[in-house]
Structure 1
Amino acid sequence: MFRRDPDDGWQRITPMNSFAGQWLWFFDDQLVHSLLNVQPDDPRLARRAASHPSVVVAMRLWMEQLPEEALQELAAPVRQSDHDAMALAGQILFEMGKVEEAAQLFAKLAAIFPGHPFASMNLGLCQARMRAWAEAAENLKNALALHPDRAEVWFALGVTLVNQKRATEARSAFTRSLRLNSEYAPAWFGQGLACQLEGNHGEALRIYDKLLEAQPDREELLANALVAAAELRDSAKIRILAPRLLQLNPKSAHARLALCWIALEQGNLEEANKHCALVAQANPGDYRHWYNLGVCLLRMGQAEKAGAAFDNAARLQPDDAGSAEGLARSLTAVGRTEDARKAWERVLRLAPDREEAWFRFGLLLYEAGEHAEASAAFDRCVRLRPDWLDAWSNLGNARWSAGDFAAAVTAFQRVLDASPFHSAARRAMAALAVDTGNLTEAERYIEGLSGKDWEILYNLAMLFHSSGKLQRAASLYREVLATKPDFTEARFNLGSVLFGLGRVMEGQDSWKAAVAMKPELAGEILKWMGSGPLCEDEAVTV
């Protein structure tokens, strides 16, 4: 059976996505606002005290870092929908980490006072903290419609869009933020994230490099820069960034995986495996790291250990087709055919359009002798990827073994139409022609082979032998022996043909060589010598 490993893009080490959540590094000190961000001696407090003194009392308590007491003072005016009280209470709740309560208060404030300068903005910020990205984006857009000159709000909008994978819109929002404040580092960071989402890793890396000049020990920056460098396969940059990141965080998965990439590029599988193992041990609950470890182990030929790693990944993430496929490959490699079959069936349930999986499943079935089922698997494979010639060739082999010769010829012809000198297809067509007794076709296909198959040549020689075309049979037997000189049956049959051609001395030499290798043939020679020339159907077969 002609075999070829399909594209190993499946076996690529998977990076950690460092985007989601890293914006909080910049965002933690960007608090919500109320209208009462004033000093204790501000004259506005005196005017406010006349209408609702408890709000002013709460303001002073808040400034004295007594948030619970401040909220108690604000309870009554909040019930009365006083907008200053609602804004201040929301800000205090936000600072206390009670983000959901703050969001509810800001939502009520925005509904009662649609033009309030901070209600929509604060609500959007709270929703962003709660990862309600779509809702946050809408409220931040409402805030910007009222006040389009706030750089931090444009930044926050960009963050919500990045987390929705709306990279182009996010980049536009970050650009607006930078127009208002060109030194605003969070917005530059956001631009880098947007570039990475768009696949522009070079531009992202340039942005991160600039930010790292000012903040060289910022872990999130180093991690994202490292991911960008890895996507660019920039080994030199990885060698600079990874050690710096490991100094800050010895357990950094980003750094270990980047070093794993370098080791793989250098062919140092043991080093790559070491980094993957450390990451998996440090993060045992993350299926991606077990998957990566499995990939390294499988490349090292340690299929049994690889299977254990892939099994861990599959248990943690049962719907991940990559982990399931890794387990199936590992089980196939260690010869656990029944378990491998179940594993491949699971892969194909998870990813029915995965042509490589159908290819490998077909190989497994073929080798198990289930030729009709293998034929169905290869048929599914070529439907998904019609230009995959090796799959067509294997489909032909499976059909042939299942006894469907006409369908086998169709598959092999599909290969030869696209690649006339495809060796596996030509060998198969030659063998089919031999099986059906079509000597002319068999010769035509064999003629185009660069490395000729001795088995096909031998069977073809026997066909010529039995049909009385002894000169051609002798030539083919000699070709077989040039490749396989210890093939006694070919040497014996060559002797028979030479006798038939009247070349007795050469025939005797060939028989002597055959008997030297296989003494039990001597009796057969004496019998045939006494009864005359070799009959047509007496050629020895394998």
Structure 2
Amino acid sequence: MAKNRLMFEPDGPETIRPAPEKENETIEYGDPVYLDGTARSVRSFRTLIISGVILILLLVIGAGAFYLWRSAPEGSPEGRISLDGARDRYYIPESDLTDALKKGRQQYLQLARDDARRTFQKILDESTSDKERSIAHIFLGVMALEEDRPGQAKHHFLSALKLDESSVGALINLAIVERKLGNREEAQRYAEQAKELAPNDPAVAMILANLLLESSDPEKAEEIYREGMSRSPDDTIMRYNLGLALIRQNKLDEAELEFNRLVEMFPSDPLAVRALAYLGQIAFLKNRPEQAVQYYRRAIGLAPDEARYHYNLGVVLLRMRDNQGALEAFDNALKAGGSDADVFQNLALAYERLNEPTLAAKALERALLINPQSVEGLFQLGDLYHRQKDLLRAAENYRKIVNITPGDTNTKEALIRLGRVYREMERYQDSADVLGRAVTLSPNEGQVLYELGLTYRMGNRFDDAVAVWRKALQNGVKLERADERTIRLALGDSYRAKGAYDLAINEYRQVEGRNREAPVVEDDAELHLRLGALYRDLKDAGKASEYYRRVYEGASSSPAQRRDAAKDMASLYLKDADRASLDEAGSWAYKAARLDQSDAETQLLRAEILLRNESGVDREKAIEILMAVAHSRLPSGLEAKTYLLLGDAYYKNGEYRRAVEALETASEYDPGNSEILKKKRLAVSALRSEGR
């Protein structure tokens, strides 16, 4: 079920690719924060009327509740909030500053960073004071952190600590760097050293609380934040982090209070925008969508170029069934800026659900402009093109994945999908080549071997297909039960197509044997349809009908499988010329049509049975059915049969000119069909005789 997904800011500039939900996955702070949702975006105003209906359907399907997308285990309780990363405050030295350091600090505060960097570098080059040089390193490290260069920042902070082992600033900033790099044990060690040197320093308390929040001890983190707030009530970072700690404990009312205070007291602070985003999320979770809309509109007012806020606003408006407002919000999200590729990937998912592949592709291309190396984005775009049968572009995206991945699972999966695309393009050798590379990466994986065998079979390399599938069934090749089933069914189908019925039966019986193992499969409609077809080929109508009836009457058979079984039963009875068999054929064809009126094969079968009745009324009904089928989207391969039957119906009805036209059309689809040519000659002869 689709669910509404709200999106929040990542902790740093790095783009983090979304990952599927996993069991027992722990919360990772600093990642993008998302809540799942029904529609993640919608189409443009030009298609508003059509899209409105679809949007309402999407809402009915899944607009009920929020679940964590990335940050919580699958199946987590409704109503939880994913957390943004706690904010750090870099330690900026304020005491023990020489005149040169004061000059550099002033330049830094005035945002003259290049001048400040030159001043501090001059201190490093010329000063003989370890203390002064240590502080210069701290300033340079902070500037490197602000420019998202943690490696260089770490170098400066370590140099500062080497020059002054009692430097609290160096220790605090090292803890922040290690936290950003994911080295929490190292971060904790530096923070504890800083606490020993300065137990009452608020900056030390801040980094310790942040580490506690990340280590699943939000209660202790809350205690430290509140203590810090009591000493510095105007500290916006402390208040923001306190809100995160409260959310982590599901204290939504208290979190809402703290974020509201931050916004009211410091409306121009950069964290006010993020606080508004959390207030919107909390209001939505509390079923106050109107209030959530207000918060998001305020956030957009402060950051109009941030796509995620427009996107989240659209999700909330969808919940309120304000489809026009949602459309506008999603359009604005697509037009807005932002450096988070995930926003545009989710917009693409929504556009695709709304049958707007062009807009979906546009959103994905935008995501890949932001992060060209996004494997997930490339898979998503490749799959979109594949579904739209734009095979050249699909192949291009899968090849990109192969080129940028190091021979891992993503490489293998891209090779498999590329092999399928080449197979659909009838480039069987290219398909075999890339699937062979996939086999090299995973030689004992049944799915890969199955795909390679399928390419061989479709490329008329029957012996190679059988050899590959046999290899997959040998000892030493690890096969899941489902993979073994797939391969054995494919082998059976191949043997049946070649007339090797005994070998085909053996493979199908192997599947039957596995079905009797736990967990037992009682009704295997897919297998029984194959066995019915096999015995039909062997002209054993009794056995064939036994399997078809089991499918039609099976409780677990899908409507499509029951329809196919009914069609096959009708075809069996149609082979006999007696009246009773014809009546049975008509009865089964009617059952198939009731299950699926739009199925062209079923309608052709009904028309053929009606034509056998030799009744003028039935012929007219057959012509009516065949005309409807001919003017529909015919599946490839049925065109010739449709016009052959139509020509036959017109001929029997004495409408020879129409019969000739229909048979000529049939001949265009299947020029070498002797039956069509024979009936065309008869119709032409009858037309000429009629004109004499």
TM-score scaled by structure 1?
Answer: 0.62
Is the 1:307–1:326 Cα contact (8 Å) retained in structure 2?
no
> Are 1:320 and 2:368 counterparts?
no
* Structure 2 equivalent of residue 32 of structure 1: 93
Is the 1:304–1:331 Cα contact (8 Å) retained in structure 2?
no
Matches within 5 A, 1:348-363: 352=409
* Structure 2 equivalent of residue 48 of structure 1: none
Alignment RMSD, CA only? 5.8
Residues 398-428 of structure 1, C-alpha deviations (whole Å, 9 max, x = no match) = 6676557565776799799777567766656
Q: Match of 2:93, SS?
A: coil
Q: Tell me: CA distance 1:133–1:191, structure 2 relative to 1, closer, same or farther (3 Å).
A: farther
* Structure 1 equivalent of residue 259 of structure 2: 211
* Structure 2 equivalent of residue 500 of structure 1: none
How many angstroms apart in 1 are the aligned matches of 2:427 and 2:616?
A: 45
How many angstroms apart in 2 are the aligned matches of 1:469 and 1:413?
A: 39
Is the 2:344–2:366 Cα contact (8 Å) retained in structure 1?
yes
How many angstroms apart in 2 are the aligned matches of 1:367 and 1:157?
A: 57
How many angstroms apart in 1 are the aligned matches of 2:422 and 2:479?
A: 20
Q: Tell me: CA distance 1:151–1:378, structure 2 relative to 1, closer, same or farther (3 Å).
A: farther
Q: Tell me: CA distance 1:225–1:361, structure 2 relative to 1, closer, same or farther (3 Å).
A: farther
How many angstroms apart in 1 are the aligned matches of 2:388 and 2:313?
A: 29
Q: Which amino acid aligns with 1:282?
A: A
> Are 1:491 and 2:610 counterparts?
yes
TM-score scaled by structure 2?
Answer: 0.51
Alpha-carbon deviation of 1:477?
2.7
* Structure 2 equivalent of residue 252 of structure 1: 306
**Structure 1 portions without partners, runs of 5+:** 1-6, 38-54, 496-506, 524-537
Q: Match of 2:216, SS?
A: helix
Aligned residue among 520, 525, 531 for 2:651: 520
**Highest CA radius of gyration, 1 or 2?**
1
* Structure 1 equivalent of residue 200 of structure 2: 149
> Are 1:336 and 2:390 counterparts?
yes
How many angstroms apart in 2 are the aligned matches of 1:321 and 1:78?
A: 49
Q: Tell me: CA distance 1:342–1:122, structure 2 relative to 1, closer, same or farther (3 Å).
A: closer
How many angstroms apart in 1 are the aligned matches of 2:401 and 2:333?
A: 25
How many angstroms apart in 2 are the aligned matches of 1:16 and 1:225?
A: 11
Aligned length: 468
How many angstroms apart in 1 are the aligned matches of 2:484 and 2:316?
A: 36
Alpha-carbon deviation of 1:20?
3.6
How many angstroms apart in 2 are the aligned matches of 1:159 and 1:212?
A: 21
> Are 1:297 and 2:289 counterparts?
no
> Are 1:463 and 2:569 counterparts?
no
Alpha-carbon deviation of 1:326?
2.6
Is the 1:154–1:173 Cα contact (8 Å) retained in structure 2?
no
How many angstroms apart in 1 are the aligned matches of 2:395 and 2:565?
A: 32
Alpha-carbon deviation of 1:289?
3.8
> Are 1:140 and 2:140 counterparts?
no
Identity in percent: 13
Residues 341-383 of structure 1, C-alpha deviations (whole Å, 9 max, x = no match) = 4545666886847999999889868876899989956968xx9
* Structure 2 equivalent of residue 474 of structure 1: 583
Alpha-carbon deviation of 1:248?
2.4
Matches within 5 A, 1:160-175: 166-168=214-216, 172-173=220-221, 175=223
- Name the stretch that deviates more: 309-318 or 13-22: 13-22
Q: Tell me: CA distance 1:230–1:309, structure 2 relative to 1, closer, same or farther (3 Å).
A: same
Aligned residue among 222, 226, 239 for 1:178: 226
Is the 1:290–1:309 Cα contact (8 Å) retained in structure 2?
yes
How many angstroms apart in 2 are the aligned matches of 1:132 and 1:516?
A: 73
How many angstroms apart in 1 are the aligned matches of 2:607 and 2:423?
A: 30
Is the 1:152–1:177 Cα contact (8 Å) retained in structure 2?
no
* Structure 1 equivalent of residue 271 of structure 2: 220
Q: Tell me: CA distance 1:90–1:492, structure 2 relative to 1, closer, same or farther (3 Å).
A: closer
Alpha-carbon deviation of 1:241?
1.7
Is the 1:464–1:472 Cα contact (8 Å) retained in structure 2?
yes
How many angstroms apart in 2 are the aligned matches of 1:490 and 1:414?
A: 39
> Are 1:120 and 2:239 counterparts?
no
**Structure 2 portions without partners, runs of 5+:** 14-83, 109-115, 436-445, 452-476, 497-503, 594-601, 625-648, 655-674, 676-692
> Are 1:445 and 2:494 counterparts?
no
Is the 1:260–1:272 Cα contact (8 Å) retained in structure 2?
yes
How many angstroms apart in 2 are the aligned matches of 1:153 and 1:295?
A: 44
* Structure 1 equivalent of residue 9 of structure 2: 17
How many angstroms apart in 2 are the aligned matches of 1:226 and 1:369?
A: 51
Q: Match of 2:200, SS?
A: coil
Q: Tell me: CA distance 1:299–1:399, structure 2 relative to 1, closer, same or farther (3 Å).
A: farther
* Structure 1 equivalent of residue 128 of structure 2: 79
Q: Which amino acid aligns with 1:490?
A: I
Alpha-carbon deviation of 1:206?
4.0
Q: Which amino acid aligns with 2:11?
A: F
How many angstroms apart in 1 are the aligned matches of 2:416 and 2:318?
A: 26
- Name the stretch that deviates more: 443-452 or 248-257: 443-452
Residues 304-354 of structure 1, C-alpha deviations (whole Å, 9 max, x = no match) = 232233233234423323312331233134321343345456668868479
Q: Tell me: CA distance 1:327–1:454, structure 2 relative to 1, closer, same or farther (3 Å).
A: same
